[in-house]
Amino acid sequence: MDATTKPLRIPPEMAVYAEEKEIYDLMESMLTQLIVDRPEDPIQYLIDLLKRDSMEVPRIFLLGPPASGKRTIAKMLCEHTHAIRVGASSLLEEDTDLVRAARQYQDQRQEIPSELWIKLVRQRLSKMDCIKRGWVFEGIPRTREQAVLLQEAGIAPEHVVLLDAPDTVLIERNLGKRIDPVTGDVYHATFAWPGEATVAQRLQEAPGVEEESTAAQLLEFHRAVHPLQNTYKHRLRVVNADQPLVDVFSQVLTFALSRPRSTAPHTPRVLLLGPPGSGKSLQAALIAQKYNIVNICCGQVLKSAAADQTGLGELIKPYLETGERVPDSMVVKILSERLSQLDCTTCGWTLHGFPRDVDQAEKLKDAGFVPNRVFVLEMPDDVAIERITLRATDPVTGERFHSLYKAAPSPQVQRRLQRNPRHSEERLRQRLEEYRAHAPELQAFYPHATHLNADQDPHSVFEALESRVVGRLPKSLSTPGPSGPLD
């Protein structure tokens, strides 16, 4: 073969290493922050970014109407993620020129301008604790104007949570609210009374929580919430706050730990395992067609190699002609050449038909090909036998029919149908026994594999499979803590 026409081979270790170390995400994050901050010395700025303990820190907006539980949930989030809680009161604690200017508006009973709020936010986020540990905004922004100003300042959240509850529930919560003047914790006369008598004795009614004022605050919130939802619709999760606190926090924490869709390249490397008749070929074809990735059927790759009349192809021809098993070393070498070509490296691949046991899986891993999504299509043996033994092919059109699910359209087509000798019940049971013998060890080799029920409509199987192909792997979840005081 002419060296100029030889397929370009890219070492598979490049993509595996880049994804394991999240190099693409790191470059995307660094470039984003570089464009937002626009430092005078970009090289030194990037060096300082790399010196941080972690660039993937929480950046959460926690929004909601009065008495929806923002403060309580924000505190619990910060306890679990070690992020910094940023609220309206905490922004006015320091003694700076900006804080003094904001307090003058408060002393004159005037609303603090949005531009001044944003400056206070930027001043707080410039502190090293927010940079290293991330932040949770409590009730900020309150309007679309503030949201736009935050975006212009380069302050963008990864997750936005909107707590929601009926107005009647929120008014009842607000009227029963009690505040600990020492710690600032919020309790409720009915739903969350403190267990310690000393704390209960010093609780005070929250100022300005009359029913009329609460209704006015809710009306103001409802006017502002829809523009805010539209602003953050791609990063927003609405959580029902009218349920036990532990359930609310569990939903918020799960969303906060989820990883948003990244524009950085993540090449899909999908491995499909399962018994004969479980639909691996069909699911691989559906994935390849929808996402433009390469469908790699081990058997077809071996036949193509034999047809190309290459040196290795000539060696495996006798095995294919006699139906004997091709040695694993030859199979892995042929698969390696195919999987390392440019289309597989850039677009990704979905592999089925290999590996069939742990030894083959080890050889595939040693060759540098590590799948990042593994699916096991589960199916009972009797269903697999019914699917395959009643299957036949039209030699004229190549179309496949089934006696139960897809009968031949005419007697003429029915007469010319042919059955594959490999689809006899006796040979199929041998293949199923072989699969069951190796399945436990093979599945243990891929402990993070997703198991799917293949005994259902193929499109239902594809929907379940697809939902796990397109999403990024989540962060490890923390266990929600016990219930505490309400906001």
**How many CA atoms are closer than 13 Å to the CA of 397, on its beta-carbon side?**
12
pLDDT for 54 equals 60
Q: For residue 398, give the 3-state DSSP assignment.
A: coil
Phi/psi class of residue 275: alpha, beta or left (left: φ > 0; alpha: ψ in -120 to 50)? Answer: beta
Are both 209 and 88 inside the same structural domain?
yes
Angle between helices 114-125 and 97-107 (to 10 degrees): 150
| Beta-sheet pairing, 59-63 with 135-138 | parallel
Decide if pLDDT at 486 tops 60: no
Residue 484 located in a structural domain = no
Are both 225 and 280 inside the same structural domain?
no
pLDDT for 29 equals 77
CA 328 to chain CA centroid, nearest Å = 35
Are both 142 and 291 inside the same structural domain?
no
Are both 289 and 164 inside the same structural domain?
no
Cβ–Cβ under 8 Å, residues 239 and 62: no
For residue 258, the 8-state DSSP code is S
Residue finishing a domain among 207, 232, 257 = 257
Are both 343 and 246 inside the same structural domain?
no
Confidence of residue 484 (pLDDT cuts 50, 70, 90): very low
Residue 245 located in a structural domain = yes
Q: Give the residue-averaged pLDDT of 126-150.
A: 88
Are both 239 and 299 inside the same structural domain?
no
Q: Which of 298, 271, 293, 269 is nearest to 343 (CA)?
A: 293
Cβ–Cβ under 8 Å, residues 150 and 141: yes
Are both 297 and 229 inside the same structural domain?
no
- Give me the CATH number covering residue 454: 3.40.50.300
Confidence of residue 285 (pLDDT cuts 50, 70, 90): very high
Token match 């190099």: residue? 23
Residue finishing a domain among 257, 282, 301 = 257
Q: What percent of the chain has pLDDT over 70?
A: 89
Q: Give me the residues paired with residue 60 across strands.
A: 136, 159
Residue 22 located in a structural domain = no
Q: Which of 38-52, 235-249, 260-274 is the least confident region?
A: 260-274
User: Domain range holding 88?
Assistant: 57-257
Quote the number of domains for the chain: 2
Are both 146 and 230 inside the same structural domain?
yes
Residue 379 located in a structural domain = yes
Residue 81 located in a structural domain = yes
Residue finishing a domain among 197, 232, 257 = 257
Q: Which of 339-353, 407-421, 469-483 is the least confident region?
A: 469-483
d(CA 1, CA 358): 35
Residue 476 located in a structural domain = no
Are both 244 and 282 inside the same structural domain?
no
Q: Give the residue-averaged pLDDT of 371-391.
A: 88
Are both 426 and 462 inside the same structural domain?
yes
Beta strand segments in 304-372, E: 349-352
Residue 25 located in a structural domain = no
pLDDT for 238 equals 94
Confidence of residue 479 (pLDDT cuts 50, 70, 90): very low
**Cβ atoms < 10 Å from Cβ of 247:** 14
Are both 226 and 280 inside the same structural domain?
no
35 vs 289, residue with greater confidence = 289
d(CA 155, CA 328): 54
Are both 253 and 296 inside the same structural domain?
no
Residue 486 located in a structural domain = no
Whether the predicted model's global pTM rises above the 0.75 cut: no
